[in-house]
Amino acid sequence: MKIADKHYRSIWFNQEAGKVQIIDQRWLPHEFRVVELASRADFAAAIRDMWVRGAPLIGATAAHAIAEEMKRDPSNTNLDAAWDELHKTRPTAINLRWALDEMRNLLRPLPEAGRASAAHARAVQICDEDVECNRMIGVHGLEIIRRIAAGKAPGEPVNILTHCNAGWLATVDWGTATSPMYHAVEAGIDIHVWVDETRPRNQGAMLTSWEMNSHGIPHHLIVDNAGGHLMQRGQVDVVIVGTDRTTAHGDVCNKIGTYLKALAAKDNDVPFYVALPSPTIDWAVKHGSEIPIEERDGEEITHVQGRLADGSIGTVQISPDGTPGGNPAFDVTPRRLVTGLITERGVCAASPEGLAGMFPEQVSQQTNAG
């Protein structure tokens, strides 16, 4: 997407520098910083400490990490060590494991001499595939927004609520939940977005708001607790969120607080959609309770980062000394609360049948593997 008329992806290989570069998201929206990732430790830190974040981008970063490692040392020992170190960085987003497996399964049968170029080509391809999946999610999601818009009075926008940042910054480009929004704007449909701030790390306040601002999309930043109230008052037409892992039966794991939005949406007859590229589906897991939920540092709860009066970026403590923070980073929304899954192939029910109908080849692969 564009920043001040220049097109950016969230990660790219800079041919001139011969290096992978990313937008370091820790400093947004106040500072736009691009950094290079070179060593395995750089890549691992970038994922673990959330310089990059969002399930698809975590996967894309891991793919580039393996590619860079293969340039340094293409041995099986190094391939396995890199897989292990990267896999430990963040446990919930399945795209991480998906990308690491894609890379290892491709590279293992190859002679060492051919691994670096094959790994580089596949990492670039994984990024391109993510962009295309997300573009198609937008094409399909647009039809949902278009249908809602058709029932509105002239000049009345479609009000969309979203949680966390499932925007282009969370993917390689377009975003998942935001792609239908960007497509709606391109199609000339009036929309307005309620952006949940998304405590504790405020991905909504810092990242989604920044995306909406940069693209001139009307929006308001709201506290995480406002959504239910707005739904009761008829001020939300549809909820669209992303996901870090969706099970083969359609349960959806996403940023903490998503479940409460889904409950409120159900109570108020507001449709609740989840947008996802297929690498976010964990075909090996049926029930959401089986998904590992990342526990992050309590300091993310007790402290908040922002721009200080002198313009610098700083952190302030908001709770008393000695109060520990409890920080489960994701929750599971049961499929019964999900109106539909917006995938690159179309919209399907959040159910075993819905997903199997959309991705029949995955079901036969699982059957053969089992």
135 exposure class (CB count in 10 Å sphere: 0-12, 13-18, 19+): middle
User: Catalytic site residue 282?
Assistant: no
By CB under 6 A, residue 329 contacts ligand MRU: yes
By CB under 6 A, residue 261 contacts ligand MRU: no
Of residues 179, 100, 176, 90, the one with CA closest to residue 142: 179
- Closest distance between ligand MRU and the C-beta of residue 120, in Å? 24
Please select the residue that binds ligand MRU; options are 254, 302, 339, 343, rule is CB under 6 A.
254
Residue nearest to ligand MRU (CB): 242
The rounded Cα 360 to chain-centroid distance in angstroms is: 24
Of residues 284, 357, 33, 24, the one with CA closest to residue 169: 24
Stretch touching ligand MRU by CB under 6 A, among 124-132, 165-173, 283-291, 312-320? 165-173
Stretch touching ligand MRU by CB under 6 A, among 50-58, 109-117, 282-290, 362-370? 50-58
The two structure tokens encoding residue 24: 């370091």
- Residue 44's contacts (CB-CB under 8 Å, 6 or more residues apart) are 65, 85, 86, 88, 89
Phi, psi for 111 (deg, rounded to 5): -65, 150
By CB under 6 A, how many residues form the interface with ligand MRU?
A: 17
- Closest distance between ligand MRU and the C-beta of residue 60, in Å? 11
**Which element (helix H / strand E) includes 243?**
none
Selected catalytic residue, list 244, 251, 282, 331: 244
Contact positions with ligand MRU (CB under 6 A) in 85-104: 93
Decide if 1 contacts 174 (C-beta within 8 A): yes
CA-based Rg of the chain, rounded to a whole angstrom? 20
Between 55 and 70, name the residue whose CB sits nearer to ligand MRU.
55
Between 74 and 277, name the residue whose CB sits nearer to ligand MRU.
277
Place of tokens 């199997």: 356
Q: CA 288, CA 285: separation in Å to the nearest integer?
A: 8
Helices in 189-253 by DSSP H: which ranges? Answer: 203, 209-214, 227-232
Stretch touching ligand MRU by CB under 6 A, among 164-172, 185-193, 282-290, 348-356? 164-172
x/- site string to ligand MRU, residues 184 to 223, per CB under 6 A?
-------------------x--------------------
- Closest distance between ligand MRU and the C-beta of residue 28, in Å? 12
- Closest distance between ligand MRU and the C-beta of residue 117, in Å? 29
Would strands 281-282 and 245-247 be described as parallel, antiparallel, or unpaired? Answer: parallel
Instruction: Give me the count of residues in the chain.
Output: 370
Between 53 and 122, name the residue whose CB sits nearer to ligand MRU.
53
Please select the residue that binds ligand MRU; options are 10, 89, 159, 171, rule is CB under 6 A.
171
Please select the residue that binds ligand MRU; options are 40, 255, 261, 335, rule is CB under 6 A.
255
For residue 287, the 8-state DSSP code is S
x/- site string to ligand MRU, residues 3 to 22, per CB under 6 A?
--------------------
Strand order, beta sheet including 34-37: 11-14, 19-23, 34-37
Q: CA 217, CA 213: separation in Å to the nearest integer?
A: 6
Decide if 130 contacts 174 (C-beta within 8 A): no
By CB under 6 A, residue 170 contacts ligand MRU: yes
Stretch touching ligand MRU by CB under 6 A, among 52-60, 100-108, 185-193, 309-317? 52-60
Contact positions with ligand MRU (CB under 6 A) in 230-249: 242-244
Would strands 272-275 and 238-241 be described as parallel, antiparallel, or unpaired? Answer: parallel
Q: What residues are annotated to the active site?
A: 244
Interface positions with ligand MRU (CB under 6 A) = 53-56, 93, 164, 166, 170-171, 176, 203, 242-244, 254-255, 329
